């Protein structure tokens, strides 16, 4: 079959307007669970410091009636520190690009800065969870904040050829031979945390090991719905012998690691005035440049309240 002779069709037309919607679709994830759940505080120096303390070990305590009181040794605090880390994104757009009419956005610079802000937030999440020791930095070396992986040392389940960090952010964890993620590993670490006095609320994994966590059966995994005026979220909860753990997957954490976190003991300290700071940069021609940056440090309030399962397979 063919068109009747003389039929004028779309392919013969000149000047057909393009069909371009005013919506831009993106599949790139922007959720940052750790950054969203951690407390936010303020840093006032590039070396951010805080103090931790522990009670003396519990003991049998018997006192003779009427005996003179014996003085107990005082408990000193321990000073901990981390370095602030600068992360930034810079957008550059020509004057022409800002003037033409584009689909799905108005000013191209505004749009690019919106995108850069989302990218920067993902970068911050990656830095906070990285197996990275703190670096003081100098004129040629960037400061680096020690990530969660380099703090947790006390409550760990790892491969025999791996090693734990010191626990003060000064060194990173040494990776060992990867092995499968199991429920027994979770139970082991939960017991260690409980003995230290921690009350973890989150089991955070990469995408592959989140699927493994769904198969755990000794601690029943149930679906719960959390609601408030603005948020409707459904999540899985692992019912352990030591309380409930919300199962969270995080695309930006080390995929070979599962974190069991007491989120009350983690915070992000932003240097004053430098939390997602936007600054127009100097013009050098017919372009506009803007920088968005954050300067921040991870505050590990007490690493003994959390735990880690390291050296896991990821496929």
Strand partners, 225: 234
- DSSP assigned state of 241: T
What was the pLDDT predicted at 233?
Answer: 45
What was the pLDDT predicted at 153?
Answer: 96
What was the pLDDT predicted at 58?
Answer: 86
- DSSP assigned state of 12: G
Q: How many helices (H) and strands (E) does the chain have?
A: 5, 14
Residue 12 lies in a domain: no
Sorted by sequence, the CB contacts under 8 Å of residue 73 that are 6+ apart come out as: 56
- pTM for this entry: 0.86
Residue 110 lies in a domain: yes
What was the pLDDT predicted at 54?
Answer: 85
Taking Cα atoms as reference points, which of 128, 184, 209, 195 lies closest to residue 155? 195
Instruction: Sort residue 58 into left (φ over 0), alpha (ψ -120 to 50) or beta.
Output: beta
Sorted by sequence, the CB contacts under 8 Å of residue 86 that are 6+ apart come out as: 142, 143, 293, 294, 295
What was the pLDDT predicted at 17?
Answer: 67
Residue 149 lies in a domain: yes
Q: What distance separates the 2 farthest-apart alpha carbons in the chain?
A: 119
What was the pLDDT predicted at 19?
Answer: 65
Residue 68 lies in a domain: no
Residue 64 lies in a domain: no
Q: Which domain holds residue 114?
A: 33-49+79-309
Q: Measure the CA–CA gap between 234 and 208, rounded to whole angstroms.
A: 19
CATH number for the domain that contains residue 231: 3.90.1690
Residue 67 lies in a domain: no
Q: Do 148 and 267 form a contact (C-beta atoms < 8 A)?
A: no
Strand partners, 135: 144
Q: Measure the CA–CA gap between 286 and 95, rounded to whole angstroms.
A: 6
Residue 9 lies in a domain: no
Residue 27 lies in a domain: no
Q: How many independent structural domains does the chain possess?
A: 1
Residues of the chain falling short of pLDDT 50: 223, 228-234
- Predicted confidence (pLDDT) per residue in 146-156, tens digit: 999 999 999 99
């Amino acid at each position: 079959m063919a068109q009747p002779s003389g039929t004028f069709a779309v392919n013969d037309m000149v000047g057909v307007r393009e069909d371009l919607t005013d919506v831009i679709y993106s599949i790139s994830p922007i959720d940052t669970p750790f950054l969203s759940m951690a407390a936010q505080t303020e840093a006032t120096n590039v070396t951010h410091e805080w103090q931790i303390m522990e009670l003396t070990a519990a003991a049998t305590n018997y006192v003779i009636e009427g005996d003179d009181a014996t003085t107990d040794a005082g408990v000193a605090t321990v000073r901990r520190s981390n370095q602030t880390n600068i992360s930034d994104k810079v957008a550059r757009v020509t004057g022409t690009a800002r003037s033409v009419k584009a689909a799905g956005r108005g000013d191209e610079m505004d749009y690019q800065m919106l995108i850069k802000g989302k990218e920067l937030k993902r970068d911050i999440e990656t830095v906070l969870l990285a197996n990275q020791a703190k670096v003081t930095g100098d004129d040629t070396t960037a400061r680096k904040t020690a990530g969660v992986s380099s703090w947790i040392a006390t409550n760990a389940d790892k491969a025999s050829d791996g090693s734990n960090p010191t626990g003060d952010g000064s060194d990173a964890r040494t990776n060992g031979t990867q092995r499968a993620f199991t429920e027994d590993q979770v139970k082991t670490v939960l017991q260690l945390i409980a003995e230290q006095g921690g009350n973890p609320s989150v089991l955070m994994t990469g995408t592959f090991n989140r699927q493994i966590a769904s198969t755990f059966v000794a601690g029943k995994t149930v679906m719960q719905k959390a609601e408030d005026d603005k948020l409707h979220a459904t999540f899985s909860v692992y019912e352990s012998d030591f309380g409930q753990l919300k199962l969270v997957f995080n695309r930006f954490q080390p995929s070979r690691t599962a974190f069991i976190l007491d989120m009350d003991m983690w915070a992000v300290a932003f240097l004053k005035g430098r939390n997602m700071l936007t600054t127009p940069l100097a013009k050098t021609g017919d372009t506009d440049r803007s920088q968005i940056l954050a300067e921040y440090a991870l505050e590990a309030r007490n690493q003994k309240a959390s735990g880690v399962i390291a050296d896991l397979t990821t496929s």
